[in-house]
Amino acid sequence: MSKIKIAPSLLAADFGNLQHDVEMVNNSDADWHHIDVMDGIFVPNISYGMPVVKAIAKHATKPLDVHLMIIDPDRYIQTFADLGASILSVHYEVCTHLHRSLQAIKSAGMKAGVALNPHTSVRLLKDTIQDIDVVCLMSVNPGFGGQSFIENTYNKVKELKELILRKGANTLIEIDGGVTAKNAKALTDSGADILVAGSFVFKSKNPAKTIKELKEIAG
């Protein structure tokens, strides 16, 4: 059984038929639903907010992995817990008091995630890694789906894995952006535990089959 988790990104789903795509993920070999919330300020795009997350939660039978690409995420921690998020990731770049944000996420009953932009060094997490359940490494510049993968990500994964092992943490490494069948195995070989795939899954002819194949390649 593969220990690698696949989290299809619903940003690439068909919003006119969202229930159908959520149910496809439910019935597939995927592990989580990945949900990107963007505010148009931290990233140059606006995705969807609470009503859409609520609609997804109503139909989802797998954990909601919510990635907040927003400024001042602390304001919304309890809101997303109430909406049914299982994992909540905030961006390192916007958290003035990261440790406090992580504790607030855990207090609200969710797993605490930290997302890093491509240019943000994993070394900045050395003091908080033991408090982090998931580190989401952005392998594209955040804000838009369908971008091409940044090759330096492999080095970041290895460096982060070393930090996790050195500190005796149980943190999982998640890769978000440009994940395909071509790079999945190299990513998991480097130390990744969770692969977020958006366009690659939802733009394929048979998304459920694509998820299954991605999991087999990655595992």
pLDDT tens for 98-136 read: 999 999 999 999 999 999 999 999 999 999 999 999 999
Average pLDDT for 1-10: 89
Report whether 26 contacts 59 (CB < 8 A).
yes
Measured CA angle at 157 (ends 151, 159), to 5 deg: 115
Tokens representing 92?
A: 């390192």
Q: For residue 211, what are the domain limits? A: 5-218
Q: How confident is the model at residue 142 (pLDDT cuts 50, 70, 90)?
A: confident
Task: Indicate the number of domains in the chain.
Answer: 1
The interaxial angle of helices 18-27 and 50-59, nearest 10 deg, is 50
Q: How confident is the model at residue 52 (pLDDT cuts 50, 70, 90)?
A: very high
pTM for the model stands at 0.97
Catalytic residue among 21, 31, 36, 193: 36
pLDDT over 90 percentage in the chain: 95
176 is catalytic: yes
1: pLDDT strictly greater than 60:
no
Report whether 50 contacts 70 (CB < 8 A).
no
Burial zone of 173 (CB within 10 Å; 0-12 exposed, 13-18 middle, 19+ buried): buried
Q: Residue 113 is part of a domain; what is its CATH number?
A: 3.20.20.70
Q: Provide φ and ψ at 14, rounded to 5°.
A: -85, 105
Largest Cα–Cα distance of the chain, in whole Å? 46
Element (H or E) spanning 91, and its range? strand 85-91
> According to DSSP H, which parts of 84-122 are helical?
98-107
Mean pLDDT of the chain: 96
Catalytic residue among 65, 131, 176, 193: 176
Q: Which residues contact 114 (CB under 8 A, 6 or more apart)?
A: 89, 90, 91, 92, 95, 98, 102, 125, 128, 132, 134, 135, 136
Q: pLDDT tens digits, residue range 164-200? A: 999 999 999 999 999 999 999 999 999 999 999 999 9
143: pLDDT strictly greater than 60:
yes
Q: Provide φ and ψ at 28, rounded to 5°.
A: -95, -175
145: pLDDT strictly greater than 80:
no
- Strand 172-176 versus strand 194-197 pairing type: parallel
82 is catalytic: no
Q: pLDDT tens digits, residue range 80-92? A: 999 999 999 999 9
Q: How confident is the model at residue 148 (pLDDT cuts 50, 70, 90)?
A: confident
Whole-angstrom distance, CA of residue 140 vs CA of residue 154: 12
